[in-house]
């Protein structure tokens, strides 16, 4: 693909070039393949009284009069305008005032009485269809030579970074298309273009950025979606072929000197589903080919104990194992669980995270390299270059969707022919698995332990929720109160959660509260968790760091504050922290203002405890990006495709990929060379661990 530097496009210098680089746009080809996140239909054939929510509309209007309202920090400019159907609107702009110059000087000039302008605006009160007050996002003069890029058209809206505007981005895109489009080479095999009646790359790029109609946009988008899916599917097909050729240099034996006492010491027996899945995993591990297996099961179905059985098979064969989890809380909980389950067995388990002290880390790294550690539990810290194993043969990756391809591969690259078990509580449809992972082996725990009782889920106000909490504490039970936190580094949100914690202590002085959040040190977190486990505290106030990993059988109530701010899968994960003992458990959803979508999520949670049903609904409501890890570090990002909306195209791709792979598995034919070259570029950028040859 052409690789002209982005800075050579007219209007882009070094400063603007750096802004584009932040969007992973370095070349003109990168820019042309940077697709809009959404589109606005700014054609003026809409009835302006038919505003929907905060949706922008575009129309041409005549200026009747203007007004500047002085303010200390934010200046306000108003213009009363009349559209072609004689509707009068009060249009408002807000601009931060600056000392020394008039921030509205240009707008005043453009909005002279009687002049015409194109406005892109939304209702000031989106809940009132009768309001004639609008807030202006953009405006254009009819004489603007590039008006067709911004108004009176179907307009692309791009995801941007600070310093760039959509107006400038569209202008830059139009220049790039005019100058560099002809250099774009077709990569799709000719037979597939014809078979699926797809647009050529030049037609598709023009149509996906500046479509002349909805039909052209849909056809252009379908072609780009097909290309993304085919690249992804073919990459995994090649990788799977390589893995099938490889043979492990090591072998396992069922010695049972660890597995038998471990099983005998368990306070429960395996469910039929757990036994079946353990046998599937053991069969893979005992085979000469490296294992790549996904273990999926609902929250509380017993995935960790299944993984522990596989870890012990590796340990009793004198092999080392790694157990990687996405958060320190989850890694710590796994570490505590493993230590408790293995306390009577000669198995050395250690934990390594970013919060591990230097002294402890140095000792762990030394012991690991000398083979003194059997199982190392940790977070992303496990993939650091300094972490070297003596005899690593088996890895477990929990909540696999939270890691990117590159991260998973880096852990796997610590040794040759490693067996890998990934775990998830999110069900992955077969079509998605084929496209995203090739012929991935999937084991499913479709049965809950017999002592697991369904958790009753209620939507209540704050006072009613706290009354239920007091009742549970009186029964000598424990509970959780979870506050939303978008990011553990968000100091304002964390401060608000801490303030609520202090209010709870004052309001309920008879209850022993404790708090846990992601900014705590590792040892501090571990102490809080162990104190809660040992009933030294009664209620654990937390941020979503406890979404996965906490296992306290005496906890019977989960209160989720501002539940509307959580995704459906996260709510189900949080609910899964209770209902682990014999007593009846309750999950209380305390919601603020809820949108229709948020209400639908909360209603679903109250109707079912079936994680697979919830996972499927979550896919439909929220999309698969976060769920399947396609937006994680090192993944081939789905720039245009949507695994839910485009499932029909995905099914076509899976069929075509299989035919293409049978005909030309290493893409050696001349007509397949452009496609192969594009795959090689992706490997260099993301997937260097796959050898295309």
pLDDT for residue 628:
34
For residue 69, is pLDDT > 90? no
320 versus 43: which is more confidently predicted? 320
Pairing of strands 375-378, 320-324: parallel
Is the separation of the CB atoms in 103 and 93 below 8 Å? no
501 versus 433: which is more confidently predicted? 501
| Mean predicted confidence (pLDDT) in 479-485 | 87
Q: CB neighbours (10 Å) of residue 113?
A: 10
Is the separation of the CB atoms in 307 and 295 below 8 Å? yes
546 versus 116: which is more confidently predicted? 116
Helix, strand or coil, per DSSP, at residue 556: strand
Strands (E), 70-127: 74-83, 88-96, 116-123
Helix, strand or coil, per DSSP, at residue 535: coil
pLDDT for residue 483:
86
Helix, strand or coil, per DSSP, at residue 613: helix
| Mean predicted confidence (pLDDT) in 627-646 | 54
> pLDDT-derived band of residue 401, with 50, 70 and 90 as boundaries?
low
Strands (E), 570-628: 586-590
Q: What is the DSSP string of 111-153?
A: T-TT-EEEEEEEESSTT-TT--EEEEEEEE-TT-TTHHHHSSS
> pLDDT-derived band of residue 579, with 50, 70 and 90 as boundaries?
confident
Classify residue 394 as exposed, middle or buried by CB count within 10 Å of its CB (0-12, 13-18, 19+): buried
Residue 260 CB partners (closer than 8 Å, separation 6+): none
pLDDT tens per residue across span 307-363:
999 999 999 999 999 999 887 877 887 898 899 899 889 999 999 998 888 999 999
> pLDDT-derived band of residue 533, with 50, 70 and 90 as boundaries?
confident
Q: CB neighbours (10 Å) of residue 583?
A: 16
pLDDT for residue 512:
95
pLDDT for residue 489:
52
Average pLDDT, the chain: 84
For residue 522, is pLDDT > 50? yes
Gap between the Cα atoms of 190 and 521, Å rounded: 57
Q: Which of 41-50, 67-76, 119-128, 394-403 has the highest mean predicted lDDT (pLDDT)?
A: 67-76
For residue 621, is pLDDT > 80? no
Q: Which of 330-334, 423-427, 435-439 has the lowest mean pLDDT?
A: 435-439
pLDDT for residue 224:
94
pLDDT for residue 39:
87
For residue 588, is pLDDT > 90? yes
691 versus 106: which is more confidently predicted? 106
| Mean predicted confidence (pLDDT) in 68-91 | 86
Gap between the Cα atoms of 156 and 569, Å rounded: 31
pLDDT for residue 631:
37
pLDDT tens per residue across span 281-319:
999 999 998 888 889 888 778 899 999 999 999 999 999
Q: Which of 160-169, 234-243, 453-462 has the lowest mean pLDDT?
A: 234-243
pLDDT for residue 624:
42
Name the token pair of 322. 């790694």
Gap between the Cα atoms of 211 and 686, Å rounded: 31
pLDDT for residue 233:
81
C-alpha distances in angstroms, 454 versus 398, 578, 607?
24, 10, 11
Tell me the percentage of the chain whose pLDDT exceeds 90: 41
Give the residue among 408, 423, 433 at the shortest CA–CA distance from 689. 408
pLDDT for residue 550:
63
pLDDT for residue 576:
84
Count CA atoms within 13 Å of residue 366 on its CB side. Answer: 6
C-alpha distances in angstroms, 264 versus 261, 270, 304, 342, 570?
5, 11, 17, 12, 34
Tell me the percentage of the chain whose pLDDT exceeds 70: 84
Gap between the Cα atoms of 160 and 156, Å rounded: 12
Compute φ and ψ for 332, nearest 5 degrees.
-65, -40
Is the separation of the CB atoms in 559 and 588 below 8 Å? yes
Sign of CA dihedral 662, 667, 669, 675: positive
For residue 46, is pLDDT > 70? no
Locate all alpha helices (DSSP H) within 184-327, ordered by sequence: 190-195, 201-209, 214-245, 259-265, 272-286, 303-315
pLDDT for residue 314:
97
pLDDT tens per residue across span 187-233:
999 999 999 999 999 999 999 999 999 899 999 999 999 998 898 88
């Amino acid at each position: 693909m052409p690789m002209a530097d982005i800075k050579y496009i007219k209007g882009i210098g070094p400063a603007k070039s750096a802004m584009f680089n932040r969007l992973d746009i370095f070349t003109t080809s990168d820019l042309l393949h940077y697709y809009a996140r959404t589109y606005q239909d700014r054609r003026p054939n809409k009835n302006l009284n038919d505003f929907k929510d905060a949706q922008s509309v575009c129309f041409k209007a005549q200026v009747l009069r203007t007004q500047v309202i002085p303010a200390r920090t934010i200046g306000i400019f108003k213009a009363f305008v009349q559209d072609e159907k004689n509707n009068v609107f009060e249009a408002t702009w807000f601009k931060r005032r600056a000392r020394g110059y008039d921030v509205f000087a240009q707008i005043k000039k453009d909005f002279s009485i009687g002049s015409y302008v194109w406005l892109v605006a939304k209702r000031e009160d989106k809940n009132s269809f009768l309001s004639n007050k609008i807030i202006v996002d953009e405006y254009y003069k009819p004489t603007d030579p590039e008006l067709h890029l911004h108004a009176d058209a179907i307009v692309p809206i791009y995801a941007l970074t600070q310093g760039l505007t959509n107006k400038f981005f569209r202008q830059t895109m139009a220049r790039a298309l005019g100058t560099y489009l002809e250099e774009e080479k077709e990569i799709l095999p000719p037979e597939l273009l014809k078979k699926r009646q797809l647009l050529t790359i030049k037609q598709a790029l023009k149509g996906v950025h500046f479509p002349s109609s909805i039909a052209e946009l849909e056809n252009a988008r379908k072609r780009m979606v097909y290309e993304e899916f085919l690249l992804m599917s073919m990459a995994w097909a090649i990788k799977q072929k390589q893995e099938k050729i490889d043979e492990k240099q090591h072998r396992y034996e069922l010695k049972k000197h660890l597995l038998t006492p471990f099983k005998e010491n368990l306070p429960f027996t395996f469910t039929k589903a757990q036994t079946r899945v353990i046998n599937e995993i053991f069969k893979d591990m005992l085979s000469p080919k490296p294992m790549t297996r996904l273990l999926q099961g609902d929250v509380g179905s017993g995935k960790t104990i299944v993984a522990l059985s596989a870890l012990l098979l590796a340990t009793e064969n004198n092999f080392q194992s790694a157990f990687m989890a996405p958060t320190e809380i989850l890694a710590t909980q796994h570490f505590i669980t493993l230590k408790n389950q293995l306390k009577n067995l000669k198995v050395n388990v250690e934990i390594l995270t970013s919060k591990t002290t230097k002294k402890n880390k140095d000792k762990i790294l030394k012991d690991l390299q000398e083979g003194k550690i059997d199982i190392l539990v940790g977070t992303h810290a496990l993939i650091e270059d300094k972490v070297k194993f003596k005899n690593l043969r088996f890895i477990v990756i929990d909540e696999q969707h939270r890691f990117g391809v590159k991260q998973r591969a880096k852990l796997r690259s610590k040794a040759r022919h490693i067996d890998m078990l990934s775990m998830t509580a999110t069900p992955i449809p077969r079509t998605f698995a084929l496209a995203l992972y090739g012929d991935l082996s999937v084991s499913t725990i479709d049965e809950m332990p017999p002592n697991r009782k369904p958790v009753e889920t209620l939507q209540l106000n704050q006072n009613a929720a706290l009354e239920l909490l007091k009742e549970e504490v009186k029964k000598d039970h424990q509970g959780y109160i979870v506050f939303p936190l978008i990011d553990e580094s968000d100091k304002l949100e964390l401060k608000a959660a801490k303030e609520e914690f202090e209010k709870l202590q004052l309001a309920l002085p008879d209850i022993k509260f404790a708090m846990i959040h992601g900014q705590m040190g590792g040892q501090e977190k571990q102490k809080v968790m162990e104190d809660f486990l040992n009933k030294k505290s009664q209620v654990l106030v937390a941020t979503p760091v406890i979404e996965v990993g906490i296992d306290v059988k005496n906890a019977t109530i989960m209160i989720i504050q501002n539940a509307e701010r959580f995704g459906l899968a996260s709510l189900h994960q949080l609910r899964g922290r209770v209902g682990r003992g014999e007593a009846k458990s309750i999950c209380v959803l305390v919601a603020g203002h809820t949108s229709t979508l948020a209400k639908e999520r909360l209603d679903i949670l109250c109707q079912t405890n079936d994680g697979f049903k919830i996972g499927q609904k979550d896919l439909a409501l929220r999309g698969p990006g976060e769920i399947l890890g396609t937006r994680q570090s090192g993944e081939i990002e789905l720039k245009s495709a949507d695994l839910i909306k485009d499932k029909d195209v995905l099914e076509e791709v899976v069929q075509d990929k299989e035919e293409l792979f049978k005909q030309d598995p290493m893409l050696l034919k001349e007509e397949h060379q452009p496609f192969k070259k594009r795959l090689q570029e992706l490997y260099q950028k993301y997937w260097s661990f796959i050898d295309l040859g």
